[in-house]
Structure 1
């Protein structure tokens, strides 16, 4: 790609031009893209089809769609988006976004048979969410999305009154245990040999009937397609029917490395209350910006809010230059 004298890239001559590029077709990105298409903005939605919730069979808490597959929600939302004039979807993995004259240049590698893409846009919304790493337990993915889940608010109701495990090594484990206990009074927290829970927090959990198990975990075991327990390093298996796991999360934003965008203490995109980042014209929504409940409806709401702000920003200001202002009549 050629660059101008000031170092910013020139727009490729074959690049498609848009007012907005939305990167990521999760609930935040789909909601933002739909609302921008309805605002008659030329909108490009780019997604690599690698959703974090691909293992989840049912999503919950999304009004009118409670229990629907997350993949079905994605399909329906994309179909709605593409039904509007000016709406374009591209299956691709975004590799870079750079500043260009008056906006940005995006390059994406095509996936699922799509061609590679170059596009220019006045503005960008990043809604790529998080990449999760589960604890290093051999069979944990075999139960993930069915008997084990990461979002307590999403799946707690379905695990009510079961013998539950909470597995993790993070410093918010005690807080998460309190939330899980709302659905079951038979809960054991497994720290897998870590110091994730302090003695003080352990005492507080014990007062609520929540046991902390500090021994290392060998595996999560089961039979006939159902989880039955947690096998510990000393050979004991503690019976558990289901539970929750606390992954490590990191943002999927490597394609922004060349922009010098400000990040917060968690490595997420720092934004103001309206979703504006430190880079003018670049916005972010959903889990790329701040930790919180991992519910689809929350992310969708954030996407709609950022879309509304971006649309207003594109309209510009109504301020009138003083030299052109009309003096009020004294008559």
Structure 2
């Protein structure tokens, strides 16, 4: 696809991007969704908490969303990895590399919605990916219910680990926080957790243990094995925005795009939805809602309807 122009190009085909696209095609906008189809939750078997879709596989949710967008004559979805975005007198010039046998893209957009989400770096534990998405998860709100009352591990090396542990006590009191030798849980936080029966284990992790794909424990470098049947990890999240560096968008210290309450970024005509913006609840339904909010703003701005726009934070 070369030389075509769209009113809106959405980069990212997760719940945020597809929700934005669906609402925009219904507003009679010509919309292209560019998606690499490599979501970070691909290993997750079931998505939870999405109204009317509780328990649906995340990849199936995305497929249904794509089908709904493409059911409209003015909606298209292309499997491609965005490479660059440049601003010119003709609009936003977007280049993307085709994936899954799809053609490369070189298109123009009057407006751009960024909904590319995150890449994640898991704690440095050799077998962690073997259990990630089945016994181990990153979203407490999404998967806490299924882990209720089980002996759980919370593994991470970030400063918000104690906060996440407190949240997890809603679902299980049998919880051990593994800091993997990182000093991210303060003494005060440890005392607070101890009052709730939560132990903090500061020794370094050697690996996870299990049989036939079922996690059974956490083994420390000194050989101690602590029985655990699953739990949660705290990855380090990084926005997937390499393609947008040429736009010089305002971002926070961690690289998340700063927007107003309707998703407008620091550059007119560029919007952001979902996990490309500063972290909040990780649930897919929250991302979908953010996409709908952004779609309304895009449509109104294209029409030229006067609104009270929040200043970009």
CA contact (8 A) 2:130 2:213 kept: no
CA distance in 2, matches of 1:317, 1:174: 45
SS at match of 2:110: strand
Unaligned runs of 5+ in 2: 308-313
- State the partner residue of 2:149: 161
Correspondence list, 1:30-49, <5 A = 30-49=18-37
- State the partner residue of 2:259: 271
> What TM-score do you get using the length of structure 1 for normalisation?
0.91
Q: Which structure has the greater CA radius of gyration?
A: 1
- State the partner residue of 2:170: 182
SS at match of 1:277: coil
CA distance in 1, matches of 2:91, 2:161: 42
- State the partner residue of 2:311: none
CA distance in 2, matches of 1:162, 1:303: 35
- State the partner residue of 1:120: 108
CA contact (8 A) 1:189 1:213 kept: yes
Q: How many residues align?
A: 307
Question: Do residues 172 (structure 1) and 172 (structure 2) align?
Answer: no
- State the partner residue of 1:316: 304
Question: Do residues 137 (structure 1) and 125 (structure 2) align?
Answer: yes
> What TM-score do you get using the length of structure 2 for normalisation?
0.96
CA contact (8 A) 1:107 1:118 kept: yes
Unaligned runs of 5+ in 1: 1-11, 320-331
> What's the CA shift for 1:305?
0.4
Moved more, 100-109 or 26-35: 100-109
SS at match of 2:126: coil
Residue of structure 2 aligned with 1:83, choices 58, 71, 76: 71
CA contact (8 A) 1:228 1:239 kept: yes
Question: Do residues 57 (structure 1) and 45 (structure 2) align?
Answer: yes
CA distance in 1, matches of 2:278, 2:306: 32
> What's the CA shift for 1:259?
1.1
- State the partner residue of 2:288: 300
Residue of structure 1 aligned with 2:206, choices 215, 218, 224: 218
